[in-house]
Amino acid sequence: MEDALKQKVVPEDWDDFVKFIGQHREEIAHGSYDLRIEKDWARDLTTEDLLLLIAHCPSSRLTIASATKSVEVLERLSLDPSSDVKEAVADNLRTPSSTLNALSTDAVAAVRMAVAENPNVSEANLESLATDPVNYVRWAVAHNEKTPSNVLQLIIADADSYVSDEAKRNPNAPKGGFWSRLLKKR
């Protein structure tokens, strides 16, 4: 069914929302409704209900991606055609490393940046993203407090001063010896 033919529904509260899903599950599954939900509601829904909504209610995908605790839902949303939804998945602290690995090569730099800032990203992906052609992706690697010293060493000398300065501020940044710090102050 075309999106233009879907009836947009914005429930007033949690109880209305749960009641609506219960009464209209079949119609939702057939694409008759496009439910828009609140972030708090996405946290409390079952994986089954979340999967129903992401499959048939495009207006709910971004909210669900940013709020869900379900790894299965996050994995499914990581394949969404919307870069905003994929960015929200990459930002979600419950997104597992395996899903972040897949998103780390996304064509959209904002998605890669969100991956680089997520504490669940693998060291291998941080190392790869440290050489990303987009400076704000490299900045995100430098900003991630999970970035190991050896990866930070790669970007401390970055040509972009915002990136190199952020890498130097990272608590894991390699510290030079007394003499090297003294000589750099001059």
Indicate whether 162 belongs to any domain: no
Quote the CA–CA distance of 53 and 37 in Å, as a whole number. Answer: 10
Q: Tens digits of per-residue pLDDT, 72-88? A: 999 999 999 999 999 99
Interaxial angle between packed helices 149-156 and 135-143, expressed in degrees from 0 to 180 and rounded to the nearest 10 = 140
Residue 104 tokens read as 């780390």
Is there a domain that residue 93 lies in? no
pTM: 0.87
Residue 94 lies in a domain: no
Mean pLDDT, range 89-116, rounded to an integer: 97
Cβ atoms of 30 and 6 within 8 Å: the answer is: no
* Average pLDDT for the chain: 91
Task: Note whether 32 and 2 are within 8 A (CB).
Answer: no
Has residue 66 been placed in a domain? yes
Structure confidence at residue 186 as a pLDDT band (50, 70, 90) = very low
pLDDT in tens, 35-47: 888 888 888 889 9
Domain of 71, in residue numbers: 1-77
pLDDT-wise least confident of 47-61, 77-91, 101-115, 170-184: 170-184
Residue 1 confidence class, pLDDT cut points 50, 70, 90: very low
* Average pLDDT of the segment spanning 111-138: 97
- Our count of domains for the chain comes to 1
Q: Tell me which of 4-8, 15-19, 114-118, 144-148 is least confident.
A: 4-8
pLDDT tens-digit profile of 142-174?
Answer: 999 999 999 999 999 999 999 999 999 999 999
- Determine, yes or no, domain membership for 9: yes
Tell me if 16 is assigned to some domain: yes
Closest of 184, 115, 179 to residue 156, by C-alpha? 184
Is residue 56 over pLDDT 60? Answer: yes
Give domain status of residue 178, yes or no: no
Structure tokens at 71: 């790894």
Asked whether residue 18 is assigned to any structural domain, the reply reads yes
Mean pLDDT, range 28-56, rounded to an integer: 91
